[in-house]
């Protein structure tokens, strides 16, 4: 059974390709490598023993996307990860974000309809909830006005998908709203690979610990939370990847309750920044150099998931602990830097 994974050489995409292949799916990756590297296809093959078919092009190109779908008209579904994802950059370059994230989605939906590919899993985010009025946040919580163009692309994308499904009854979609994915595959052959200075907490921690950054800035300790830092629901990327396989099977096996479904992907537990640092120090034995500085603009105070609907409906549950997340992130950082040194990457 053939599945297209867009953005399949990216962080979450690559972990999902591995899980799909290990569950017997044939995977085709499309990625323009704007934020990833071609060797990740080989790393996936090293883990699973199967090299996924890979095509490098930009899904924002309508003609190339249409041509791809004509050549792969036996696809059973699409998992669409390919998108820009840096909140700060989206504030600086909003049109770049709207064009890339929305045009690629429209091209994919158009080609799915034209070629009878019925099933889409869409990579969404808990950012659509903003600062929720009630915690934990369930899928029924209202969508808040987006804090950034990036967040807005996720909200608009969900609307584009729903309108398209309304007009074309052959199509189905599941939007998966991710909380904070961290960690890496046990093999340490794939993991998070930010270009330049990381924006996210865990790659910043591991790059500081390995000596690439002098210290970590902790953005604010005056929030109304137990340790004063913002609270997030960190989820192991492999748990997250496995949820995509479950969602694809649900669609293919005709078990959806409506043509559009939404699921939260989180653990249901929130942790402050200092708790993540403590976990990292405990599992790595490395003392982290960090400084508490002012708040980062746009950060919400606290958000964690109510995953009960996903647990019940998907029969999926995040299993891995915070210590397993930070340990795997550290193992990956060390392995990647050692390999890069050997090969002068």
* C-alpha to C-alpha distance for 330 and 209, rounded to whole angstroms: 9
Assess 218 for contact with ligand UDP (CB under 6 A): yes
Rg (Cα) of the chain, in Å, rounded?
19
Residue 218 phi, psi (nearest 5)? -95, 115
Torsion of CA 154, 273, 329, 212, to 10 degrees: 100
CA 294 to chain centre: 27
* C-alpha to C-alpha distance for 244 and 309, rounded to whole angstroms: 15
Structural contact between residues 5 and 25, judged by C-beta atoms closer than 8 angstroms: no
Given candidates 273, 318, 322, 327, which one binds ligand UDP under the rule CB under 6 A? Answer: 273
Assess 186 for contact with ligand UDP (CB under 6 A): no
**Nearest distance in Å: CB 54, ligand UDP:** 28
**Nearest distance in Å: CB 202, ligand UDP:** 7
Given candidates 22, 155, 162, 199, which one binds ligand UDP under the rule CB under 6 A? Answer: 199
Asked about 150 being catalytic, the answer comes back as yes
Structural contact between residues 91 and 148, judged by C-beta atoms closer than 8 angstroms: yes
Cα dihedral across residues 164, 167, 168, 173: positive or negative: positive
From residue 297 to residue 326, what is the string marking binding to ligand UDP with x (rule CB under 6 A)? --x---------------------------
Helix (H/G/I), strand (E/B), else coil: 165:
helix
Residue 56, H or E segment: none
Map the footprint of ligand UDP across residues 231-260, applying CB under 6 A.
Answer: 232
Cα angle value 303/305/311 (rounded, 5°)? 175
Smaller CB distance to ligand UDP: residue 114 or 293?
293
Q: Which one is catalytic: 150, 223, 234, 336?
A: 150
Given candidates 180, 264, 267, 310, which one binds ligand UDP under the rule CB under 6 A? Answer: 180
Given candidates 22, 187, 200, 321, which one binds ligand UDP under the rule CB under 6 A? Answer: 200
Smaller CB distance to ligand UDP: residue 22 or 155?
155
Query: Which has the closest alpha carbon to 7: 39, 27, 36?
Result: 36
* C-alpha to C-alpha distance for 30 and 8, rounded to whole angstroms: 7
CA distances from 283 to 7, 188, 205, 327 (A): 31, 16, 13, 6
**Nearest distance in Å: CB 77, ligand UDP:** 27
**Nearest distance in Å: CB 221, ligand UDP:** 9
Smaller CB distance to ligand UDP: residue 58 or 299?
299
Q: Binding segment for ligand UDP among 59-67, 131-139, 195-203, 244-252 (CB under 6 A)?
A: 195-203
Assess 216 for contact with ligand UDP (CB under 6 A): yes
Assess 296 for contact with ligand UDP (CB under 6 A): yes
Strand partners, 122: 80, 175
Smaller CB distance to ligand UDP: residue 115 or 217?
217
Q: Binding segment for ligand UDP among 32-40, 50-58, 214-222, 248-256 (CB under 6 A)?
A: 214-222
Q: Which residues belong to the active site?
A: 150
> Which residues of the shown chain bind ligand UDP in the complex (CB under 6 A)?
180, 199-201, 204, 216-219, 230, 232, 273, 296, 299
């Amino acid at each position: 059974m053939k599945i297209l994974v867009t953005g399949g050489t990216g962080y979450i995409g690559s972990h999902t390709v591995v899980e799909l292949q290990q569950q017997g799916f044939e995977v085709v990756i499309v990625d323009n490598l704007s934020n990833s590297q071609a060797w990740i296809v080989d790393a996936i093959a090293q883990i699973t023993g199967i090299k996924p078919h890979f095509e490098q092009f930009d899904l924002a190109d309508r003609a190339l996307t249409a041509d791809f779908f004509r050549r792969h008209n036996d696809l059973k579904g699409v998992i669409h990860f390919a998108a820009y994802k840096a909140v700060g950059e989206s504030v600086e370059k909003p049109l770049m974000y709207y064009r890339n994230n929305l045009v690629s989605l429209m091209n994919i939906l158009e080609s799915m309809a034209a070629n009878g590919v019925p099933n889409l899993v869409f990579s969404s985010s808990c950012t659509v909830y903003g600062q929720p009025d009630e915690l934990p946040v369930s899928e029924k919580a209202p969508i808040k006005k987006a804090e950034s163009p990036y967040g807005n692309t996720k909200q608009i994308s969900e609307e584009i998908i729903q309108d398209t499904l309304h007009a074309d009854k052959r199509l189905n979609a599941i939007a998966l709203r991710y909380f904070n994915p961290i960690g890496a595959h046990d093999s340490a052959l794939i993991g998070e690979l930010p270009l330049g200075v990381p924006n996210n907490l865990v790659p910043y921690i591991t790059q500081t610990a390995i000596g690439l950054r002098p210290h970590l800035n902790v953005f604010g300790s005056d929030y109304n939370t137990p340790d004063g830092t913002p609270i997030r629901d960190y989820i192991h990327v492999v748990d997250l990847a496995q949820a995509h396989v479950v969602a694809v099977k649900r669609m293919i096996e005709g078990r959806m309750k409506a043509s559009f479904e939404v699921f939260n992907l989180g653990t249901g537990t929130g942790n402050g920044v200092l708790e993540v640092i403590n976990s990292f120090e405990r599992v790595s034995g490395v003392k982290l150099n960090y400084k508490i500085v002012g708040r980062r603009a746009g950060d919400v105070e606290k958000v964690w998931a109510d995953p009960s609907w996903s647990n019940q409906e998907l029969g999926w549950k995040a299993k891995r602990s915070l210590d397993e997340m930070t340990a795997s992130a550290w193992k990956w950082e060390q392995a990647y830097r050692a390999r890069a040194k050997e090969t002068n990457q």
